[in-house]
Amino acid sequence: METLGLIISVAHIAAAICLLNGLLTTFGQAKIASQAIESMARQPEAADNIRTSMFIGLAMAETSGIYGLLIAIIMLFANPLINTFVNLLT
């Protein structure tokens, strides 16, 4: 049963790292938005193209944060490693 505790503790550490991804995603999105606004201020005639690229970049960054949250939820509540370990014991 000591191994089960180890698996659960490693799963919690993995979930914390995945949630850190969500925190860092916000910094990435802020960088994308600030650079796009600065680019639009320098070249107003290219604002439509810059805005389109900004939204694509923001969507990709947000997807990364959502995947991190999804993996954290899986590791905490539906951890496949625990089921494999329990099946090995029986």
Sequence letter at residue 1: M
Whether 88 has a pLDDT exceeding 90, the answer reads no
2 touches 84 (CB < 8 A): no
CATH fold of 14-80 reads F1FO ATP Synthase (1.20.20)
Cβ-in-10-Å burial (0-12, 13-18, 19+) of 59 comes to: exposed
Residue ranges per structural domain of the chain? 14-80
**Is this prediction's pTM over 0.75?**
no
pLDDT tier at 75 (50, 70, 90 boundaries)?
A: confident
Beta carbons within 10 angstroms of residue 18's beta carbon: 20
Q: In this predicted model, which residue has the larger pLDDT, 90 or 70?
A: 70
pLDDT 10s digits, 15-65: 999 889 888 899 999 999 999 999 999 999 999 999 999 999 999 999 999
Rounded to whole angstroms, the Cα distance separating 72 from 66 reads: 10
